[in-house]
Structure 1
Amino acid sequence: MSTWADFIQQNEDRDGVRLTWNVWPSTRIEAAKLVVPMAAMITPLKERPELPPAQYEPVLCGRSQCRAVLNPLCQVDYRSKSWICNFCYQRNTFPQHYAAISESNQPAELISHFSTIEYHLQRAALAPTIFLFVVDTCQDYEDLQPLKESLQMSLSLIPPNALVGLITFGRMVQLHELGCDGYSKCYVFRGTKDVSPKQLQEQLGLGGGGGSRAPAPAANPAGPAPGQVQNRFLQPLQNVDMNLTDLIGDIQRDPWTVQQGNRPLRATGVALSVAVSLLEATFPNAGARVMLFIGGPCTQGPGMIVGESLKDPIRSHHDLEKDACKYHKKACKHYDGLAKRAAENGHIIDIYSCALDQPGLNEMRYFSKYTGGYMVMGDSFNTSLFKQTFQKVFAKDAQNNHFRMGFNASLEVKCSKELKVNGIIGPCISLNKRSQNVSDNEIGVGGTAAWKIPGIDPSTSVAVFFEVCNQQAGNIPQGQPGAMQFITFYQHSSGQKRVRVTTIARHWADAATNLSHVSGGFDQETAAGVMARLAVQKSDIDDGPDVLRWLDRMLIRLCQKFGEYHKDDPSSFRFADNMSLYPQVYPTILTVLCMCMLLAFLQFMFHLRRSQFLQVFNCSPDESSYYRDKLNREDVTNSLIMIQPTLYSYSFNGVPEPVLLDSSSILPDRILLLDTFFLILIYHGETIDSWKKAGYQDLPDHENFRQLLQAPVEDAQVCNHLLIGLPNFLLNVY
């Protein structure tokens, strides 16, 4: 008999979904008593090499208020060639091309193993991908030159038919015209004045839909085909490859003189405004990526973060708490508006910041929050850390040699009538699609059943929150499981429109009479990731102590629900003996397992309280925004590594094994590998270090020692997550 751990792992591998509770309470009151909310951590584009592509359109429910996709949970009548939707119970007839189906000849979407299926839409027109580089020129030559080399390298990785563009900025903003043979031409904008889409259209003579076009609804997988406008500023790479390479190579440092004791005047806000307006005026609702490279904070114009004089320090957490930041609110308002405009049109904004001071990620966090863009924080563009990270952005899959990224995606959630959707925490914006299954209690981005995720990749994960709206257990049909369906429309990097549909189901249980059955399906790892996102969301609104007190209250309520104790006697606390899922298993073993399950959850919460996600001591506002952004977009496994780092021991005594995060794990004849997700560290014990300095690993008689030294390095390359936009790096400490 498979265990719950096997069940959870199998479902995550197949569907990319993990639930906090895998057995659902049948009433609203009992669900509220479970403390940890019902939520699903879903990775919509989780890589599955064995996933069969369906080269046809999905079959939708005929009811206009439902429009769920045909799935294995639907009841099928093969004689009448009809099916009943498992969400609204509407009877639908199959299309004509399904006439040959039978019990022995089923399409993939009716086979239980294919609870996740991806449709390749053939009727939708191929859309070009767009890459717009926005480069800060207020940098020293030591940083600007390697940045130019990285940009030229990226041109060799971008498909020839992709559209590319270039904007440079310092005190002024230059929008470069491409396709000019033998000379360069650009349009210059003042760095102190914002640029609207209408103004840009009038000044540059651009056509297109303008900034007022509304985004396509989630129910339209293809969306309006973007106009094949080849304007002077966004050209196919194959037409301007040589010219753009030379243009990037000719980028010079901003010529305006910087007086001693001052910061360079940097118009980051206006440069981004020009980029967003250009894409909004020419390619609305199309897959596009704005890649911003900055070496310091914005010091003039809209989006200004700090003054020109170095005597004015950039804001700290203490300044934010006292509301003593002169430019903070205006900058946040400017970048928030730009991010929303970009997200509504399906455009992604990446931030690659390399500076020794804060470049303003705290104010610009909305770009990652709304558009799903990457946020990279480093010290210099001349480090291997940035170069390798930037190259990973253009990583391609092993099957079709396409980018591991999606564009202009939307996620729609369907659920059984006993459930309602509270909202999502993750990189997205609302599509304002109301339905009967939308709850009035909002968590994260709520009040809708559909969200837009402009930038999505195989590692992007969102947390979807649900609530049980059923009032009485008897109202649930006997033997009828509850179901959820996640429909993801997105533009593949090849330009093809695709739809991935995931349908999952779980059984109901009466928590009032059968609590052990519900508690047996508790996934403490997913619960820790979900509670971490909730705590981070609260930390953006409430004070730090209030968030910690809220977290403590939740832990106390959890122990009260599942623990047994005598009042005023702490030593009497223990978890209930009846927390058993399988009665035929020896009860003592089940008690230990259930106790370990909850203790593991409490352990994660202990580390979360002390983590940089909630504690701002020794962190700048930019660093806090960076860490919280990563937590809100990674899957369960990576979230847990961020919360509680892993420590592995390597020795001659056996295979590598996890050890405690304690000084007692440091031994002379042991090698330790610490993975914090943001940092990977290899520690050599005193004896191991002396042997290495003596060169024993180079002698043929000490092959085992050489393999022991190499093992953590090889594992570090694997656990260096290889995730796009993350500055994971490796340190060797002896």
Structure 2
Amino acid sequence: MEEFADLESQDGVRMPWNVFPVSKQEATDCVVPVSAIYTPLKPIPAMPVLPYSPIRCRTCRSVLNPFAIVDFAAKIWICPFCFQRNHFPPNYASISEENLPAELYTQCTTIEYESPMEAASSAPVPPVFLFVVDTCVIEEELGFLKSALSQAVDLLPDNSLVGLITFGTYVQVHELGFGLMPKSFVFKGSKEVTKDQILEQMGFFAKKPKPATGVIAGARDGLSSESIARFLLPASECEFALNSVLEELQKDPWPVPADQRATRCTSTALNVASCLLGACVPGSGGRIMAFVGGPATEGSGAIVSKDLSEPIRSHKDLDKDSAPFFHKAVKFYEGLSKQLVNQGHVLDVFACALDQVGLAELKVAVEKTGGLVVLAESFGHSVFKDSLKHVFQSTDYDLGLSFNGIFEVNCSKDIKIQGVIGPCASLEKRTPICSETIVGQGSTSAWKMCGLDRATSLCLVFDIVKKDTPDAVGQPTSNQFYLQFLTYYQHNNGQMRLRATTLSRRWVAGPGNIQDIISGFDQEAAAVVMARLVSFKMESEADFDPLRWLDRSLIRLCKRFGDYQKENPLSFSLSPRFSIFPQFIFHLRRSQFIQVFNNSPDETAYFRMILNRENVANSVVMIQPSLISYSFHSAPEPALLDVAAISADRILLLDAYFTVVIFHGATIAQWRKAGYQNQPEHEVFAQLLRAPKDDADAIIRERFPVPRLVVCDQHGSQARFLLARLNPSATYNNGAPAGPGGDIIFTDDASFDVFLDHLQRLVVQRS
């Protein structure tokens, strides 16, 4: 699959089908949807950034690209999407075949524009960070959180604006600009607060009368910059005031009876934060960073009552529709997400608690604004502390946080867009390229991405509408078609940029061309598309059976593209292009995206949110973890994700994306406990112990959210982190012998061999 990875490094795009079936029926027969996983801000080596505005087609507004047909004599270019003839502007007068502008170079299919006129007329917009901090936590947890926030404040860009809101029973908005003494405005946690009430109560019009008409938003629309600076100060100016408030921060003082939960008004605090940013800095890149340490029990977004005898909703409660708070909370956060999208602001959630905090309800607001999400057990855990540092540090692994994106799609007339699954919100821009069938956020060709970074990836699902006319079946008039993705966004240097990616792919028609379709199949991208699709269906379709849907899809795909004789399972074989796909589906069926048993609704929501925003390489690791084996006999090498990989004299490193596991075989663990690695004559053993630790550190350094590191021994209690992800080829009841020093798994799950055997028998059956 290296060729597809090369395509991705050039344009940030991976497609399950790199050669498209020519008709709707043929596309349906291909089972995996015609789709693309696109990473709008993927770092692309040697990508030109042009210091001028793009040339657009006057009909379809697509941007000039290498696939345009150019008449150098007449100074005209023909748009490959709508075939409109467009004149070049006067500044392109010297254009010729020997003197091409950068956007017509064949290798520049992805290019960025930064207009100097725009840059000169508007000063770079400073990013805004509004910290919303939960104080209903024990003193130790609050100490960890205050320490992490102090470090984060030191890492903020000097020009960024910073604000602070704390909440518990009440919401407190801290006035950082009043340096003489700590001062804050308090709102009742159980009451809904509007933007007008916030403006009134917080004295925004004390020195300047309130405008009689119009929207009040930001300095341009009637707010004085002094009143805004009371609550949002440049990081360079407010460091002392902010650290003073954090040092003095106390646990929520209101008493909590022994049989009750703390009164925590998370939703009211987020609403106040959203209204404050909407009033002060609408349309500029702003992030609400919420640090939540327990379940919301007050306000419209409450997930459980204060009574401890009532348990927090489980998956079973959601399935039976017996979670009394769930729908009201989701409705509240849907409204909040619309407000944030209109303002162009992002909601990030750092949820650190042993209990649930309401991430399942918050999911809609985080996803639609493109927010970051981190789930950990404590504010003292490395998963939280290192992830928070990762957000702000500008090292090799800089997240490249950008704001205020608008993503648009243009495509040839034979293709329509069904929708997008990923961190964005529909702008409801209905155009002729919108399909009647809707998947994810559909009925639009433009989406808002309030927050995006270098890893943010969208899954676009297309519809083939090409007609099966006689000449199309025989020999299409043109077998090339085009897609263009436009991302207009606020770069982290504060300037607005436009990135344009233009792709060309080809159609193939008729039954004789099945080999061409097979040659363009990318099984990693296909597995990721199926994972996003099945997660989306599980959340949006009642009574949806994910395992049945995945099994039927895989059987149909193998019937279509496998080689076999009817009623002869042994004759079944798949092209190397498809050979790993059944394995991906086997592991997807067993993954945390499908199997919700033993996971809370918050954990499931967290896993799916990360899946929906990560690129293909990271998503594949979530679906089918990678396993590396370390031993005295050979260099580190990939091992099969199978219980047979376990051996007493081996160390295994499992990368399951959310957790990284270092697993010591029984003999290795004994030697380590005996301290052999500390003796000079056993330096080789010390190196063997160090190698997986170094590799695990390298994985952890570059990943966001930072994974949990588990170091365990064979037969130890934490070995379950590895065993749960392995193919159970040797179990307690199937009689398969474990190798010398090996292991067996206590499970009733079918192994991959049994799964494949069933698949082959079902595929070769007569329909």
* TM-score normalised by the chain length of structure 1: 0.91
1:76 corresponding residue in structure 2 = 70
Cα deviations by residue, 1:584-638 (Å, 9 ceiling, x for unpaired)? xxxxxxxxxx2x3323111111111121111111111111111111111111111
Are the structure 2 counterparts of residues 139 and 308 from structure 1 closer, same or farther at C-alpha, using a change threshold of 3 Å? Answer: same
1:94-243 to structure 2, matched below 5 A, reads: 94-122=88-116, 123-124=118-119, 125=122, 126-206=124-204, 229=225, 231=228, 232-243=230-241
1:84-99 to structure 2, matched below 5 A, reads: 84-99=78-93
Are the structure 2 counterparts of residues 383 and 392 from structure 1 closer, same or farther at C-alpha, using a change threshold of 3 Å? Answer: same
1:590 corresponding residue in structure 2 = none
Cα deviations by residue, 1:175-207 (Å, 9 ceiling, x for unpaired)? 111211221211110111111222222333448
State the distance in 2 between where 1:147 and 1:720 align: 21
1:587 corresponding residue in structure 2 = none
* TM-score normalised by the chain length of structure 2: 0.87
Are the structure 2 counterparts of residues 546 and 507 from structure 1 closer, same or farther at C-alpha, using a change threshold of 3 Å? Answer: same
1:574 is displaced (CA, Å) by 3.5
Query: Is the CA contact (8 Å cut-off) linking 1:352 and 1:375 kept in structure 2?
Result: yes
1:726 is displaced (CA, Å) by 4.3
Query: Is the CA contact (8 Å cut-off) linking 1:386 and 1:727 kept in structure 2?
Result: no
State the distance in 2 between where 1:631 and 1:450 align: 22
Answering whether residue 21 of structure 2 is matched by residue 19 of structure 1, we say: no
Answering whether residue 667 of structure 2 is matched by residue 687 of structure 1, we say: yes
Are the structure 2 counterparts of residues 280 and 717 from structure 1 closer, same or farther at C-alpha, using a change threshold of 3 Å? Answer: same
Secondary structure in 1 matching 2:529: helix
Answering whether residue 444 of structure 2 is matched by residue 448 of structure 1, we say: yes
2:36 corresponding residue in structure 1 = 40
Are the structure 2 counterparts of residues 225 and 80 from structure 1 closer, same or farther at C-alpha, using a change threshold of 3 Å? Answer: farther
Secondary structure in 2 matching 1:46: coil
Unaligned runs of at least 5 residues, structure 1: 216-223, 576-593
State the distance in 2 between where 1:468 and 1:225 align: 46
Structure 2 residue identity aligned to 1:614: I
1:728 is displaced (CA, Å) by 3.6
Query: Is the CA contact (8 Å cut-off) linking 2:402 and 2:452 kept in structure 1?
Result: yes
Secondary structure in 1 matching 2:455: coil
Are the structure 2 counterparts of residues 214 and 417 from structure 1 closer, same or farther at C-alpha, using a change threshold of 3 Å? Answer: farther
Secondary structure in 2 matching 1:114: coil
Structure 2 residue identity aligned to 1:391: K
Structure 1 residue identity aligned to 2:493: S
Task: Give the alignment partner of residue 648 of structure 2, picking from 668, 671, 676.
Answer: 668
Task: Give the alignment partner of residue 419 of structure 2, picking from 405, 423, 448.
Answer: 423
Task: Give the alignment partner of residue 327 of structure 2, picking from 322, 326, 329.
Answer: 329
Task: Give the alignment partner of residue 57 of structure 1, picking from 53, 60, 75.
Answer: 53
1:539 corresponding residue in structure 2 = 538
Answering whether residue 601 of structure 2 is matched by residue 615 of structure 1, we say: no
Query: Is the CA contact (8 Å cut-off) linking 2:399 and 2:455 kept in structure 1?
Result: no
Are the structure 2 counterparts of residues 108 and 82 from structure 1 closer, same or farther at C-alpha, using a change threshold of 3 Å? Answer: same
Secondary structure in 2 matching 1:507: strand
State the distance in 2 between where 1:440 and 1:214 align: 39
Secondary structure in 1 matching 2:586: helix
2:290 corresponding residue in structure 1 = 292
Query: Is the CA contact (8 Å cut-off) linking 1:115 and 1:503 kept in structure 2?
Result: yes
1:137 is displaced (CA, Å) by 0.6
Query: Is the CA contact (8 Å cut-off) linking 2:216 and 2:222 kept in structure 1?
Result: no
1:451 is displaced (CA, Å) by 0.6
Query: Is the CA contact (8 Å cut-off) linking 2:479 and 2:508 kept in structure 1?
Result: no
Secondary structure in 2 matching 1:363: helix
1:708 is displaced (CA, Å) by 2.5
Cα deviations by residue, 1:52-94 (Å, 9 ceiling, x for unpaired)? 221211111122xx11111111112222222111111112122
State the distance in 1 between where 2:187 and 2:46 align: 50
Q: Which stretch has the larger CA shift, 690-699 or 601-610?
A: 690-699
1:407 corresponding residue in structure 2 = 403
State the distance in 1 between where 2:585 and 2:615 align: 17
State the distance in 1 between where 2:282 and 2:655 align: 41
Are the structure 2 counterparts of residues 677 and 610 from structure 1 closer, same or farther at C-alpha, using a change threshold of 3 Å? Answer: same
1:238 is displaced (CA, Å) by 2.1
1:589 corresponding residue in structure 2 = none
1:403 is displaced (CA, Å) by 6.1
State the distance in 2 between where 1:370 and 1:710 align: 42
Unaligned runs of at least 5 residues, structure 2: 715-767
Structure 1 residue identity aligned to 2:321: D
Secondary structure in 1 matching 2:451: strand
1:566 is displaced (CA, Å) by 4.5
Answering whether residue 691 of structure 2 is matched by residue 717 of structure 1, we say: no
Query: Is the CA contact (8 Å cut-off) linking 2:538 and 2:544 kept in structure 1?
Result: no
Answering whether residue 631 of structure 2 is matched by residue 635 of structure 1, we say: no
Q: Which stretch has the larger CA shift, 715-724 or 116-125?
A: 715-724
Task: Give the alignment partner of residue 731 of structure 1, picking from 711, 735, 753.
Answer: 711
Are the structure 2 counterparts of residues 403 and 325 from structure 1 closer, same or farther at C-alpha, using a change threshold of 3 Å? Answer: closer
Are the structure 2 counterparts of residues 114 and 23 from structure 1 closer, same or farther at C-alpha, using a change threshold of 3 Å? Answer: same
Structure 2 residue identity aligned to 1:640: V
State the distance in 1 between where 2:214 and 2:370 align: 22
Answering whether residue 382 of structure 2 is matched by residue 390 of structure 1, we say: no
The 4+ residue runs of structure 1 with deviation greater than 6 A are 207-215, 224-228
Cα deviations by residue, 1:3-60 (Å, 9 ceiling, x for unpaired)? xx34312111111100110111122222221111100001111122432221211111
Answering whether residue 558 of structure 2 is matched by residue 559 of structure 1, we say: yes
1:362 corresponding residue in structure 2 = 360
Are the structure 2 counterparts of residues 615 and 273 from structure 1 closer, same or farther at C-alpha, using a change threshold of 3 Å? Answer: same
Query: Is the CA contact (8 Å cut-off) linking 2:408 and 2:445 kept in structure 1?
Result: yes
2:581 corresponding residue in structure 1 = 601
State the distance in 2 between where 1:714 and 1:377 align: 24
Are the structure 2 counterparts of residues 102 and 210 from structure 1 closer, same or farther at C-alpha, using a change threshold of 3 Å? Answer: farther
2:488 corresponding residue in structure 1 = 489
1:671 is displaced (CA, Å) by 1.4
1:113 is displaced (CA, Å) by 1.4
Are the structure 2 counterparts of residues 726 and 452 from structure 1 closer, same or farther at C-alpha, using a change threshold of 3 Å? Answer: farther
Cα deviations by residue, 1:413-436 (Å, 9 ceiling, x for unpaired)? 111111111110001110111211
1:146 is displaced (CA, Å) by 1.5
Cα deviations by residue, 1:311-344 (Å, 9 ceiling, x for unpaired)? 1111111111111112111111111111221122
Are the structure 2 counterparts of residues 481 and 721 from structure 1 closer, same or farther at C-alpha, using a change threshold of 3 Å? Answer: farther
Q: Which stretch has the larger CA shift, 253-262 or 73-82?
A: 73-82
State the distance in 2 between where 1:210 and 1:411 align: 36
Answering whether residue 243 of structure 2 is matched by residue 245 of structure 1, we say: yes
What percent of counterpart residues are identical? 46
Are the structure 2 counterparts of residues 338 and 390 from structure 1 closer, same or farther at C-alpha, using a change threshold of 3 Å? Answer: same
1:286 is displaced (CA, Å) by 1.8
Answering whether residue 641 of structure 2 is matched by residue 645 of structure 1, we say: no
1:646 is displaced (CA, Å) by 1.2
Query: Is the CA contact (8 Å cut-off) linking 1:402 and 1:493 kept in structure 2?
Result: no
Are the structure 2 counterparts of residues 465 and 228 from structure 1 closer, same or farther at C-alpha, using a change threshold of 3 Å? Answer: farther
Are the structure 2 counterparts of residues 209 and 383 from structure 1 closer, same or farther at C-alpha, using a change threshold of 3 Å? Answer: farther
Answering whether residue 246 of structure 2 is matched by residue 266 of structure 1, we say: no
Query: Is the CA contact (8 Å cut-off) linking 2:367 and 2:609 kept in structure 1?
Result: yes
Query: Is the CA contact (8 Å cut-off) linking 1:141 and 1:253 kept in structure 2?
Result: yes
Query: Is the CA contact (8 Å cut-off) linking 2:404 and 2:451 kept in structure 1?
Result: yes
1:102 is displaced (CA, Å) by 2.2
State the distance in 1 between where 2:604 and 2:535 align: 10
1:408 is displaced (CA, Å) by 1.2
Structure 2 residue identity aligned to 1:316: S
Are the structure 2 counterparts of residues 157 and 34 from structure 1 closer, same or farther at C-alpha, using a change threshold of 3 Å? Answer: same
2:457 corresponding residue in structure 1 = 461
Query: Is the CA contact (8 Å cut-off) linking 1:289 and 1:348 kept in structure 2?
Result: yes
1:543 is displaced (CA, Å) by 5.3
Are the structure 2 counterparts of residues 213 and 171 from structure 1 closer, same or farther at C-alpha, using a change threshold of 3 Å? Answer: same
Structure 2 residue identity aligned to 1:669: D
Are the structure 2 counterparts of residues 706 and 7 from structure 1 closer, same or farther at C-alpha, using a change threshold of 3 Å? Answer: same
1:694 is displaced (CA, Å) by 4.4
Query: Is the CA contact (8 Å cut-off) linking 2:484 and 2:501 kept in structure 1?
Result: yes
